[in-house]
A and B are shown apart, each in its own frame.
Chain A
Amino acid sequence: MKKNSVENIIALSNDLRWKIGDDFHDHLAEGIYADASEIVKNTVQTDDKKQQFRLDSKIDNIVTSKIWGFPIMFLILGLILWITIIGANYPSSMLANLFLDNIHPILKGFAANIGMPWWLDGFLIDGVYLAVAWVIAVMLPPMAIFFPLFTLLEDFGYLPRVAFNLDYLFKKSGAHGKQALTMSMGFGCNAAGVVATRIIDSPRERLIAIITNNFSLCNGRWPTQILIASIFIGAVVPSSLSGFASVSAVIGIAILGIFFMFFSSWALSKTILKGEVSTFNLELPPYRPPRFWKTVYTSIIDRTLIVLWRAIIFAAPAGAAIWLISNITIGGESIAALVINSLDGFGFLLGLNGVILLAYIVAIPANEIVIPTILMLTVLVTGISGGEGAGVMFELDSANETANILKAGGWTLLTAINVMLFSLLHNPCSTTIYTIYKETKSLKWTIIASILPLIMGFVVTFLVAQIWRLIF
């Protein structure tokens, strides 16, 4: 009975729809606009001066202009990186000093006093504690500078202008212009960038944005880039230029990432994700002077501490795992050494080495711990004395000592460049992979998103290594 009358209603609606014709949607939309403008006419008084709007559009004319748009973008990115790199140095070494030179011996002494067995002491203090200490010392200062700066820029209203500038390039590569926003989020954290792709309506373009988000250098990889660039790239130029050279190298890698993002978006949209580019409205919001202290406070609470906490959660077990594979031996060789030896050949082809490849496997949960893992494994393999010794993560006080260890491990300028490239081009961290799965609900796309950048990394480092060896 009820069912029938519902069907009657639907039948009546079909009938009426036929009668009123095609432009119902337009008429309704027009009706709404007419109502809105009537209401506004009766309730809103606008002064003609409208100064603010004019100032906004003046700024927009400059920051989105064809000539100045891109240089201003790179300048702002460069400035933020510069402040981050320079500013993070001092607090980083202070924290390293505190955690590694002061607290670590105290913990060791305490463990000895209460008669803790050597393996438990090594596992907890040299493995877990040092891994966590490293992550805090190396990551906290740059994040505490980078995130607030980025958030201030975001609150000011600059990000939509970036999207506006890049829209043309995204359209050319068959992707959605809003991908510029998700890409920018990726510079902080790829998992956050992947979640942010929900603003993209078309499933095809959203998949492209998800798969290519990994090409935005994330927070866990900035420190790696910065450290390697300052040790190796900064060292090949006169010392007065070394700061400039390392910042340029890091920006170069970030831009290369953007290039790969465009390139893979284009390749995907021409092959497995074919389709039309959808149009969209992007509102350029008014510039809003950020509330400085509030922004700094919330970005430290919301972003810095959350990302740091995640890093710590992953670093602790990874530190323990590193200690274990370095100290459990099979036939007189530690597991780590066995794996490194078997990976060395492949590593050489890529201009890398077994240590680096193993470090990237260990560091799947968190990119942040790549460098300490490499250092630790290098010490293990070369058997040089320095820092805390085999199976222990450590930070060395000066970049020089780090460089010495790496050079003893057979590192050259080529290795450094390829580590920077490989850090840009490899599988996403496990959190991001899990997020991709949650967002796409598809094993296939998750695998593609994980493997694609890794393959690119292999190809690029291989080519660079071969060409480098031909020339030098």
Chain B
Amino acid sequence: MDNKVNSDCNGCPQYNAKGLKKLGVNTENFDFVVALAGNPNTGKSTVFNALTGLRQHTGNWPGKTVTRAEGAFEYNDQKYKLVDLPGTYSLLSTSEDEEVARNFILFGKPDVTVIIVDASRLERNLNLVIQVLEITDKAVLCLNLMDEAKRNHIKIDERALARDLGIPVVPTSARFNEGIPELIKTITEVANGKIICKPHRIKNVPKNIQKAVNKLSAEIEKEFPTIPNSRWIAFRLLEGDTQIINALQAGELN
């Protein structure tokens, strides 16, 4: 791929001076909030460091990030606050780190959610991606660890993947700073509405469930016309998720 071009861009002071400013922990007065979600050990913290210029410690073991780390970058005079969420396999069950991640995407309403996946283990990672896409409709898929995928002779059709998921897909190798400029550009385009996502919705559910969900989400939409994730709330209500029921009663979801 065009690795060479990327690294030349990275090294070029013109490029950095004009567009990107890494702001480290200075997260005041931001224009947009960007959340980083993904499975454990897919390199979220590495992407976070590459975007913010911070040197948060990264380690090759799942569950390294337990706190919500925050940082910022500036691109074309817009300030982006970045939140590195704990890695999770799913947003369905309710362990503490999964709740931190889910609550941030749901209640924190980030302007863009970047979902970082391990390109060499895409199928397993898609489980989380599909769930996130039910909650938010402004997302970017960061296909990280492309170097490992290449080493393992795995080829991914990024355009088909973007079409199937309905969100932009950016291949990266964050450890080597490859693809980071493209990722930043894509994030800013989604944040500014230049790219409109049409996220994938869960299809393979039995008909009776599909019907129940449709009925319930229609009711939710009638009550809260601006809500972006009525279907997901319907899923949670059907599951009897008390936290979501409480949030709905308190009016925190719209």
B206 at the interface (CB under 8 A from A): yes
Known: A35-B204, A50-B153. A17 touches B62 (CB 8 A): no
- Which one of B62, B160, B202, B245 has the greatest number of beta carbons of chain A within 10 Å? B62
Q: Which of B131-152 contact A (CB under 8 A)?
A: 131, 148, 151-152
| A10 CB contact (under 8 Å) in B130, B205, B222, B248 | B248
B48 at the interface (CB under 8 A from A): no
Main secondary structure of the interface of A (DSSP, over half): helix
User: B223 to A43, Cβ gap below 8 A?
Assistant: no
User: B175 to A31, Cβ gap below 8 A?
Assistant: no
Q: What are the interface flags for A14-40 relative to B under an 8 Å C-beta threshold, 1 for contact and 0 otherwise?
A: 001101100011011111111111111
Q: Which A residues are in CB contact (< 8 Å) with B160?
A: 42-43
| B161 CB contact (under 8 Å) in A29, A35, A43, A201 | A43
Task: Closest B residue to A161 by CB, please name it.
Answer: B61
User: B41 to A283, Cβ gap below 8 A?
Assistant: yes
Q: What are the interface flags for B50-77 relative to A under an 8 Å C-beta threshold, 1 for contact and 0 otherwise?
A: 0000010111111100110000000000
Chain A min CB distance to B30 (Å): 25
User: B92 to A29, Cβ gap below 8 A?
Assistant: yes
Bound complex: CA of A197 vs CA of B245, how far in Å?
Answer: 30
Q: Which A residues are in CB contact (< 8 Å) with B200?
A: 35, 39
B: number of interface residues (CB 8 Å): 65
- Which of A73-81, A207-215, A284-292, A351-359 interfaces with chain B? A284-292
User: A155 to B59, Cβ gap below 8 A?
Assistant: yes
- Which of A222-230, A298-306, A399-407 interfaces with chain B? A298-306
- Which of B104-112, B190-198, B234-242 interfaces with chain A? B234-242
A49 at the interface (CB under 8 A from B): yes
Q: What are the interface flags for B228-254 relative to A under an 8 Å C-beta threshold, 1 for contact and 0 otherwise?
A: 000000110111100001001101000
Chain B min CB distance to A132 (Å): 25
Chain B min CB distance to A59 (Å): 13
| A42 CB contact (under 8 Å) in B55, B57, B164 | B164
User: A17 to B238, Cβ gap below 8 A?
Assistant: yes
Task: Closest B residue to A295 by CB, please name it.
Answer: B58
User: A303 to B209, Cβ gap below 8 A?
Assistant: no
A157 at the interface (CB under 8 A from B): yes
Task: Closest B residue to A36 by CB, please name it.
Answer: B126
Chain A min CB distance to B208 (Å): 6
Task: Closest B residue to A294 by CB, please name it.
Answer: B175
Chain A min CB distance to B110 (Å): 21
Q: Which of A247-270 contact B (CB under 8 A)?
A: none
B33 at the interface (CB under 8 A from A): no
Bound complex: CA of A141 vs CA of B181, how far in Å?
Answer: 38
User: A44 to B122, Cβ gap below 8 A?
Assistant: yes
Chain B min CB distance to A264 (Å): 23
User: B154 to A45, Cβ gap below 8 A?
Assistant: yes
User: B61 to A31, Cβ gap below 8 A?
Assistant: no
User: A25 to B60, Cβ gap below 8 A?
Assistant: no
Known: A32-B202, A44-B155. A20 touches B223 (CB 8 A): no
User: B66 to A195, Cβ gap below 8 A?
Assistant: yes
B216 at the interface (CB under 8 A from A): yes
User: B122 to A52, Cβ gap below 8 A?
Assistant: no
User: B61 to A181, Cβ gap below 8 A?
Assistant: yes
Bound complex: CA of A120 vs CA of B29, how far in Å?
Answer: 47
User: B248 to A9, Cβ gap below 8 A?
Assistant: yes
User: A40 to B122, Cβ gap below 8 A?
Assistant: yes
User: A47 to B154, Cβ gap below 8 A?
Assistant: yes
B212 at the interface (CB under 8 A from A): yes
Q: Which of B159-180 contact A (CB under 8 A)?
A: 160-161, 164-165, 175
Q: Which A residues are in CB contact (< 8 Å) with B2?
A: none
A245 at the interface (CB under 8 A from B): no
Bound complex: CA of A159 vs CA of B164, how far in Å?
Answer: 36
Task: Closest B residue to A3 by CB, please name it.
Answer: B249
B215 at the interface (CB under 8 A from A): yes
Chain B min CB distance to A340 (Å): 41
Q: Which A residues are in CB contact (< 8 Å) with B165?
A: 39
Known: A31-B202, A31-B204, A285-B61. A298 touches B55 (CB 8 A): yes
User: B240 to A17, Cβ gap below 8 A?
Assistant: yes
Bound complex: CA of A281 vs CA of B62, how far in Å?
Answer: 10
B123 at the interface (CB under 8 A from A): yes
A196 at the interface (CB under 8 A from B): yes
Bound complex: CA of A154 vs CA of B220, how far in Å?
Answer: 47
Known: A13-B234, A201-B95. A20 touches B208 (CB 8 A): yes
Chain B min CB distance to A438 (Å): 12
Q: Which B residues are in CB contact (< 8 Å) with A37?
A: 123
| B223 CB contact (under 8 Å) in A5, A25, A32 | A5
Task: Closest A residue to B154 by CB, please name it.
Answer: A46
Q: What are the interface flags for A300-316 relative to B under an 8 Å C-beta threshold, 1 for contact and 0 otherwise?
A: 01110000000000000
B18 at the interface (CB under 8 A from A): no
User: A6 to B248, Cβ gap below 8 A?
Assistant: yes
Q: Which A residues are in CB contact (< 8 Å) with B127?
A: 32-33, 36
Task: Closest B residue to A286 by CB, please name it.
Answer: B148
| B123 CB contact (under 8 Å) in A16, A36, A281 | A36
Task: Closest B residue to A196 by CB, please name it.
Answer: B66
A16-B215, A28-B202, A42-B160 are known; give 17 further A-B pairs, CB within 8 A: A12-B216, A12-B219, A13-B238, A20-B212, A32-B127, A33-B127, A35-B202, A36-B124, A37-B123, A39-B165, A151-B57, A154-B60, A155-B59, A163-B61, A198-B96, A282-B62, A301-B55
Between A and B, 28 residue pairs with Cβ closer than 8 Å are A5-B222, A6-B248, A9-B220, A10-B249, A12-B215, A12-B216, A16-B212, A20-B208, A20-B209, A20-B212, A20-B238, A29-B92, A31-B203, A32-B204, A35-B130, A36-B130, A39-B164, A49-B153, A50-B152, A51-B152, A52-B148, A53-B152, A151-B59, A154-B59, A157-B61, A195-B66, A299-B57, A302-B57
A interface residues (Cβ-Cβ under 8 A, vs B): 2-3, 5-10, 12-13, 16-17, 19-20, 24-25, 27-40, 42-47, 49-53, 151, 154-157, 159-160, 163, 178, 181, 195-196, 198-199, 201, 281-283, 285-288, 290-291, 298-299, 301-303
Task: Identify the 6 closest CB pairs spanning chains A and B, nearest first.
Answer: A47-B153, A34-B204, A198-B66, A36-B126, A13-B237, A199-B63
